[in-house]
Chains A and B, each alone.
Chain A
Amino acid sequence: MTSRGRGAAKRIPDLADNRGGAYDDGTRRTEILQTAASLIASSGLRTSLQEIADAAGILPGSLYHHFESKEAILVELVRRYYTDLERIGEIAQERLDKPDSRPVADEIFELGSAIARCAVQHRAALQMSFYEAPSANQELVELLQKPPTAVQQAMLQTLRAGRWSGYIRSEIDLPTLADRICQTMMHVGLDIIRHNAAPDQTAAVLCRIMLHGLAARPPSDRELDSSPAFAAAEAAIKTWSDENESGANDKAAHVRAVARAEFGRKGYEVTTIRDIASAAGLGTGTVYRLIGSKDELLASIMESFGQKAGGGFASVLRTDATPVEKLDALSWVNINALAQFPDEWKIQLAWIRQCSAHRCHASGEAGRAELGQHQRVGSIPGRVEDPTRLDAPIAARHAQPGAGVRDATTTTESTAVGRD
């Protein structure tokens, strides 16, 4: 790429220098936050103030000296995450204004890696900023509704530089690609994706895939549209609406449909069986008799969702299409699952927010099977060990800080059909 910008003597920090984050200040307050973040990242948002105090080695009363509530801790964690992300975006944008002879690909990797490292460092905040849900804490709601935009803008500017240099293909929609890359880099902060790999290494592989593609020979849309795998995906997707129609007259199916909409609208955490009964025009006792407890209801909804998406997955894999055609068809199944079942999607996310694999136990194999990989990050609809610990319904909203433009969710979504 050719040199750009005005040129100036001021030294701009290197993105790779941002490893410590803006708030690594060694204060007691920061230590408590780091302890809380570590617990929440591993145990989910059910983590109690008592546990945070125990892990930090202080009495709960002393903890209150620093934070008035658990939600105050969550607010601060999200605030620090956003501050670091904003800083990364600003540094990247400043660098774009300076003369730079590095290839655009290197700049994309560098920014992507910085986002990924930030996501890993702030993975508790990342986890809670992913998904939208009602919260009693207005400050947290407002904070999550205003994610920083600087990293996405920086990525967009970097991609534009790539377009000018001829590196990025002319038919690619750059804002969408910037959004996609930024979100994917944030997924590196999810243990389920990165596993034990280094953040930079994970970011580099994901960037390479998105920039260079997995197909040895780039397939045309026409080829992919006519593949046997795509036909199998289409056939499987068609059965989803058939199933919905056939279940419409069933009373239990009606309650599940109402519950799905209520969970999706209000959030799983705060929706009660009484709410569902009221919305369905039935008595609470009738709803219990038809569908059991709220957890059982959630498990049955997710089982149905998982069967649909998983059925499409299996149909595609059974065909004699090429691996590239099968990957394409799997993407199509997933896109349709997201488009047709947005409520199920949101419900699924509620569990990621609330608990972790260490803390939530499935009441049945059905829920475990359908949520697939989610169980690793803690999204199993099942028995709640202590319902009183659902004390902090969190209004998480975006997967994508920076998506003021497009609010986002992520990939853990991937997990509806993915498990090991």
Chain B
Amino acid sequence: MRLRQLRALLSEGIDSGDIRIQDSPSLSMLARYVMDIIWVPENIVRAQGKQAALVNARDTVLRGAADRGRRK
């Protein structure tokens, strides 16, 4: 159920242009991957605290760790 909801959310984001992913797999697979990475590993939460874990999540899942002006 929740994986389906996440798939719908990703679909909505891709359609609206809010979300973009290069060479995207199927939405079903993408939902699985995203379900995985929206969980920051427990050791990071424990060692660095919730705020730092949130920043890590944003810097990876949403913004990406790379400088968008330098793709390589």
Which residues of chain A are within 8 angstroms of B20 by Cβ–Cβ distance? 214-216
Q: Which of A171, A339, A345 has the most CB of B within 10 A?
A: A339
Q: Note all chain B residues with C-beta closer than 8 A to A219.
A: 58, 62-63
Interface pair B42/A212, CB less than 8 Å apart: no
Of B10, B23, B62, B67, which contacts A167 at CB under 8 A? B67
Segment of A21-29, A85-93, A194-202 in the binding face: A194-202
CB proximity to B under 8 Å, residues A71-108? 103-106
Residues of A within 8 A of B71 (CB): 105
Give the A-B pair count, Cβ closer than 8 A: 232
**Which of the four size classes fits the interface of chain A?**
35 or more
Scan residues 332-365 of chain A and give those whose CB is less than 8 A from a CB of chain B: 332, 334-336, 338-339, 342, 345
Contact A414/B41 with A328-B58, A419-B3 known, Cβ cut-off 8 Å: no
Residue among A105, A332, A338, A345 with the highest chain B CB neighbour number at 10 A: A338
In the bound assembly, the distance between CA atoms of A334 and B42 in angstroms comes to: 10
Instruction: Determine whether the beta carbon of B32 is less than 8 Å from that of A195.
Output: yes
Contacts of B2 in A (CB 8 A): 310, 313, 372, 417-420
Question: Please, how many angstroms separate the alpha-carbon atoms of A400 and B44 in the complex?
Answer: 11
Q: Which of B1-31 contact A (CB under 8 A)?
A: 1-6, 9-10, 12-13, 16-25, 29-30
Contact B43 A214, beta carbon cutoff 8 Å: no
A75 to B19 CA separation, bound complex (whole angstroms): 44
Counting chain B residues whose Cβ lies within 8 A of the other chain, the interface size class is 35 or more
Q: B43-63, CB under 8 A of A: which get 1 and which 0? A: 111111010111111111111
Is there an interface contact between A399 and B45, defined as CB atoms closer than 8 Å? no
In the complex, which residues 174-206 of chain A have their Cβ closer than 8 Å to any Cβ of chain B? Answer: 176-177, 179-180, 183-184, 187, 192-193, 195, 197, 201-202, 204-206
Looking at the complex, which of A43-51, A62-70, A260-268, A405-413 is the stretch in contact with chain B?
Answer: A405-413
- B62 contacts A342, CB within 8 Å? no
Q: How far is the CA of A103 from the CA of B21 in the complex (A)?
A: 20
Max chain A Cβ within 10 angstroms of own Cβ: one of B24, B25, B46, B64: B64
The 8 closest A-B pairs by CB, nearest first: A213-B64, A323-B13, A103-B72, A331-B57, A408-B43, A409-B42, A218-B63, A212-B64
**7 interchain pairs (CB within 8 A)?**
A169-B66, A169-B67, A206-B36, A214-B19, A327-B61, A332-B57, A335-B57
